[in-house]
Structure 1
Amino acid sequence: MASVDRWNALDEVPPAEGGAVVAIGNFDGVHRGHRAVLGTVVASARARGARAVAVTFDPHPLAVLHPERAPALLTGLDERLARLAETGLDGVLVMEFTRELASWSPEHFVRTVFVEALRAVEVVVGRDVRFGRGNSGDLATLQRLGAACGFEVTALDDVSADPAAAGGAPVRPWSSTRVRLDLAEGNVDHAADVLGRPHRVVGTVVHGDHRGRELGYPTANLSADAEGVVPADGVYAGWLVRLGATGPDARLPAAVSVGSNPTFAGCERRVEAYALDRTGLDLYGERVAVEFVHRLRPTLRFDGVGPLVEQMARDVEECRRLLA
């Protein structure tokens, strides 16, 4: 993946002779809507001879202010930064979100971040932008402050699929919330349409019950602390991506299971991936991503090992067909 300069504090931002064109947001998932906004930032920065910068937050503001309302994140921070780098940005300022930061007035935030640290010449936002203490700053606030501080404000309408390109079908909004809803229903192909790529869960391969190996389908089990929203229980066609590997074994077609193995009275929800026709892989301790392409079926409880193995064989054949 591409890389981008990362600054974890305001005083880490190096000076830029041409200033910066800036976008601000959580950018969870870095979906097609985010990338359209960031594309505007990059294009404007190139035309101005300025630096293209995104400002984002970690942890998510709601995780600090209202933990009970905090969304499950589509991407971990490293994955988010890698996806942001793909847009052509020059740098990303990752601001630690604290209650102190949340207390800053809109004026203090703009002068401290946009003016003093980034030397912004343009700030690109959505028309529904809110910032500063109690979300008291809005687009009009930003425009007023921009005029006073010497930077331009570009306001973009919500970005979503082109109705003409949808062929008369309902237009699906490009939003992180929409992706979470799709994943909760197992509609990973719909989520991919919003993201512009398959959704992935990233984790370390750990030992499981080794039942898959006994049944002829050894699986890579993701650690419980894996990053990314886990889709609804079921069996999926997908890809097993070895993040530290190169060559033909770096990205392998896979049958993916999400659930608790009800046939064996399991109670722990897991993500397991069987790399098609690969029984000799030793992936323990590796950092991998599991990408979800299509849901084949829900998780089922079978009356014994025989019917389960027969269904697994059908699942693998269907995955082979879908991923060919």
Structure 2
Amino acid sequence: MSQRSVVVIGNFDGVHRGHTALIRAAREAELDAQLVAVTFWPHPMSVIRPDHAPALLSSLDERRRLLAAAGVQRVEVVPFTSEVAQWSPAEFVDRVLRPLDPVRVVVGANFRFGFRASGDVETLAGLLAGTATVTGLPLVDAHAGPDSSTRVREAIAAGDLDLAGELLGRAYRFTGVVVHGERRGRELGFPTANLIVSADRAVPPDGVYAGWVTRLDPPGQPRWPAAISVGTNPTFDGRFRTVESYVLDRTDLDLYDLEIAVDFVHRLRGQIRYTGPEALIEQMHRDVDQARATLLP
């Protein structure tokens, strides 16, 4: 007889503290069941109302990693399309949940599903009556409001990394594959690992930050302290928005074409356009000193 599941449902963008509380409650409620997270990709709003699609806190691969770290044993990704958006609540249950053979489904108290969000926790309980228990959990409420991906995005957009970190339960992480830049950082004595910022990803405002860099493959790599620049490199009339990380005191790293994670800890200053490389180099030395003091007190 196959193992039954306990299912949590959500977008899980960023996998913040509210999400991990949901996952923990599901695990504790059904210790003998397989813990399955049902999530959606792309973000439903990008299909239903593309002009209102939010900046994402994590890629799908990063979401999988975060869910696994939170204790999820299986991630079931529902490819969200205009057809899926038309499903009734009953269709969603029949197509997605019943094949998972859940003994319990755990969702947030504000959970809505089905065409035009017509279903809620009570609807879900009725559809699964006799086969699975449905638990609707109150939202984690802290810092003058409930924990949510929206609040995390707002904190990041405002450069409030302390609040973002408290809501997430960890520093905000931006991941990507290191690209070949114009090597200006190396010429200035501060070689950087550069990540392109796509339009659908959330990043802090342009400026300089203290944080950490970790190579993701293979797993288990050490993290390095770094001074991180977000922006278009206005001193050199840059065109693309990038996240550029200088690992403190390291000029020997070759991270090109590798996936790395950049964890933002603290905002040091805004972005400034300098009159030339000399003034920029002086400021970069100050940034590095300040990053070192922040990360390695």
Same fold (TM over 0.5): yes
Number of positions where the alignment pairs a residue of Structure 1 with one of Structure 2: 296
Range 131-140 or range 103-112, more displaced: 103-112
Q: Distance in 2 between matches of 1:92 and 1:214?
A: 44
Q: Distance in 2 between matches of 1:267 and 1:93?
A: 38
The reply on whether 1:75 has 2:53 as its aligned counterpart is: no
Specify the alignment match of 1:132 in structure 2.
114
Q: 1:70 to 1:246 in 2, by over 3 A?
A: closer
- Paired residue secondary structure (2:77): strand
Conservation of the 8 A alpha-carbon contact between 1:16 and 1:50: no
- Paired residue secondary structure (1:206): coil
* Paired-residue identity, %: 53
Conservation of the 8 A alpha-carbon contact between 2:213 and 2:226: yes
Determine which of 136, 144, 148 is the counterpart of 1:155: 136
Q: Quick one: which amino acid aligns to residue 270 of structure 2?
A: P
User: Cα offset for 1:158?
Assistant: 1.0
Specify the alignment match of 1:95 in structure 2.
78
TM-score, length-normalised on structure 1? 0.86
Conservation of the 8 A alpha-carbon contact between 2:55 and 2:199: no
Q: Quick one: which amino acid aligns to residue 256 of structure 1?
A: I
User: Cα offset for 1:36?
Assistant: 0.1
The reply on whether 1:171 has 2:144 as its aligned counterpart is: yes
Conservation of the 8 A alpha-carbon contact between 1:20 and 1:122: yes
Specify the alignment match of 1:121 in structure 2.
103
Determine which of 30, 33, 37 is the counterpart of 1:50: 33
Q: Quick one: which amino acid aligns to residue 157 of structure 2?
A: A
Specify the alignment match of 1:4 in structure 2.
none
Specify the alignment match of 1:33 in structure 2.
18
Conservation of the 8 A alpha-carbon contact between 1:204 and 1:226: no
Specify the alignment match of 1:281 in structure 2.
253
Q: 1:153 to 1:224 in 2, by over 3 A?
A: closer
Counting only pairs closer than 5 Å after superposition, residues 285-296 of structure 1 correspond to structure 2 as 285-296=257-268
Determine which of 267, 271, 286 is the counterpart of 1:314: 286
Specify the alignment match of 1:194 in structure 2.
167
Q: Deviations over 1:277-302 (max 9, x none)?
A: 10122221111111111000000122
The reply on whether 1:266 has 2:238 as its aligned counterpart is: yes
Q: Distance in 2 between matches of 1:74 and 1:186?
A: 14
- Paired residue secondary structure (1:153): strand
User: Cα offset for 1:223?
Assistant: 3.4
TM-score, length-normalised on structure 2? 0.94
Q: Quick one: which amino acid aligns to residue 233 of structure 1?
A: D
User: Cα offset for 1:304?
Assistant: 2.4
Q: Quick one: which amino acid aligns to residue 159 of structure 1?
A: V
Q: Distance in 2 between matches of 1:95 and 1:122?
A: 19
Specify the alignment match of 1:22 in structure 2.
7
Specify the alignment match of 1:86 in structure 2.
69
Unpaired runs of 5+ residues, structure 1, are: 1-14, 162-169
Q: 1:39 to 1:315 in 2, by over 3 A?
A: same
- Paired residue secondary structure (1:230): coil
User: Cα offset for 1:95?
Assistant: 1.1
Unpaired runs of 5+ residues, structure 2, are: none
Q: Distance in 2 between matches of 1:20 and 1:268?
A: 45
Conservation of the 8 A alpha-carbon contact between 1:237 and 1:293: yes
Conservation of the 8 A alpha-carbon contact between 1:76 and 1:227: no
Specify the alignment match of 1:207 in structure 2.
180
Determine which of 208, 233, 248 is the counterpart of 2:206: 233
